[in-house]
Chain A
Amino acid sequence: MKKILMLCLGFFGLYAREIAGKVPLVSKDMAPHSGGDLLVSSQMIDNILHYQTWGELFVYLQVHWFRLLFFGITVGVLVVFLLHYLIIGPKKFAHSGKGIFVYSIFKRVVHWAAALAFVLVIPTGFMMIFGKELGGGDLVLTARYVHSIGTVLFIVSFIPMFLMWLIPMLPSFDDIKWFLMLGGYLTKKKVVVPAGQFNAGQKMWFWVAMLGGIVMIGSGAMMYFQDFHLSILDRFGLDQIDLIRVAAITHNFLGMAVAALFITHLYMSLFAIKGSLDSMIDGYKSEDEVRYMHSSFYKKLKKEDKI
Chain B
Amino acid sequence: MSYARMKFYCDEERCIECNGCSVACAEAHELPVGISRRKVVTLNDGIEGKEFSVSVACMHCTDAPCEQVCPVDCFYIREDGIVLHDKEICIGCGYCLYACPFGAPQFPKDGAFGTRGVMDKCTMCAGGPEETNSAKERELYGQDRIAEGKVPACAAMCSTKALIVGDEQEVSKIYRKRVMSRGKGVQSAPYGWSTAYGN
Contacts and interface: CB of A to CB of B under 8 A. Distances in A.
A and B touch in the complex (CB under 8 A): yes
Interface of A: 2, 4, 7-20, 22-26, 30, 32, 36-37, 39-45, 47-49, 51-52, 55, 58-59, 62-63, 67, 128-132, 134-138, 140-141, 143-145, 148, 223-224, 226, 241, 244-245, 248
Nearest to B62: A10
Contacts of B72: 131-132, 134-137, 140
Contacts of A11: 5, 7, 9, 59, 62, 168, 171-172
B41 A32 contact: yes
B7 to A, nearest CB: 5
A11 to B, nearest CB: 5
Contacts of A129: 71
B29 interface: no
A226 B94 contact: yes
Interface string B74-117: 10000000000010111111110111111100110001100110
Contacts of A8: 61-65, 101
A128 B93 contact: yes
Contact of A141 (B65, B92, B94, B172): B92
B72 to A, nearest CB: 3
B23 interface: no
A114 B18 CA distance: 52
B63 A44 contact: no
Interface residues of B, number: 65
A138 B88 CA distance: 7
Contact of B56 (A4, A18, A22, A44): A44
Q: 6 nearest interchain CB pairs?
A: A136-B72, A136-B89, A131-B72, A7-B63, A44-B103, A51-B101
Interface in B110-155: 111-112, 115-116, 118
B54 A55 contact: no
Contact of B197 (A42, A49, A128, A244): A49
A128 B94 CA distance: 12
Interface string B10-52: 1010000000000000000000001010010111111100101
A15 B91 contact: no
A47 B62 contact: no
Nearest to A55: B101
B98 A244 contact: yes
B195 interface: yes
Most chain A Cβ neighbours within 10 Å, of B39, B95, B99 = B99
Provide the main secondary structure of the chain B interface.
Answer: loop
11 contacts: A4-B65, A7-B61, A8-B64, A8-B101, A42-B42, A55-B65, A62-B99, A128-B71, A138-B88, A144-B92, A223-B94
B61 A22 contact: no
Interface in B151-199: 168, 171-172, 175, 191, 193, 195-199
B47 A26 contact: yes
B73 to A, nearest CB: 5
Given A11-B172, A59-B68, A128-B91, A43 B42 contact: no
Contacts of B36: 37, 40
A48 B198 CA distance: 10
Contact of A25 (B44, B89, B95): B44
B103 A43 contact: yes
Contacts of A36: 34
Contacts of A9: 61, 101
Given A141-B92, A148-B115, A45 B101 contact: no
A47 B101 contact: yes
Contacts of A130: 71
